[in-house]
Structure 1
Amino acid sequence: MGRFRAPRLPNRWRITGWIVASVLLVTFLVGILAAVQVEDRFTAQIDEQIRSQAAGMRAAFDVIDREDLEQLARDVPAIGSRIDGLTVIDPSGDVLSVPSGPMDDPDPPLDTSARAVGQLRSRAGAPFDVRSADGSVAYRAMSAQLPDGGLLVVTRSLAERDEAVNAVVRVLAFTGVIAAILISVVVAVVTSLVTHPLDAMIDTAEAISEGDLTSRVPTAGVEDVTRLATALNQMLDRIEQAFADREASEGALRRFVSDASHELRTPLAAVLGYAELHQSGMAGDQAAVDRGIDRIRSEGERMRLIVDELLTLARLDEGRPMERAPVDLGELVRQAVGDARTVAPQRSVTIDVPDEPVTVSGDAMSLRQAVDNLLANARNHTPAEAPVHVSVHRGGGRALIRVRDSGPGLEPEAAARAFDRFYRADSSRSRPGGSGLGLAIVAAIAESHQGSATVDSSPGEGATFTLDLPVG
Structure 2
Amino acid sequence: MSAHNTELPPRPPLPPQRPEGAGAPTGNEGAPAENTSEAPKKKRRRAFTLRQRLLAILLVGIAAASALIGGASVLTVRNLLENRVDEQLVHLSQRPERTLGGFDPQNPGFLGDPGTGPGALGAVILDGEVVRSAALSTDGSPTPLTEAQNQAILRASTHVEPANITIPGLGNYRVMAREIQVLVTPTTLRTGISVTGLPLAATELTLSQLTRAILILAVGVLLIVAAAAYLVVRLALRPLDRVAATAAEVSRLSVGADGDPGTTPGGDRTEAALRVRVPERDADERTEVGRVGASLNLMLTHVEESLQVRRAGEVKLRRFVSDASHELRTPLASIRGYSELARRIGTDLPEDIAYSLSRIGSESIRMTGIVEDLLLLARLDEGRELTRRPVDLTDIVFHAVNDAHAAGPDHPLEFDAPEVPIRVLGDTPRLQQVIVNLLANARVHTPAGTQIRAHLEAKDGEALLEISDNGPGVPEDLRDHVFERFVRGDESRTRAPGSGGTSGLGLSIVAAVVQAHGGRVALESEPGNTVFRITLPLLP
- The TM-score, its normalising length taken from structure 1, stands at 0.48
Bigger CA radius of gyration: 1
- The TM-score, its normalising length taken from structure 2, stands at 0.43
Q: Which has the higher helix share?
A: 1
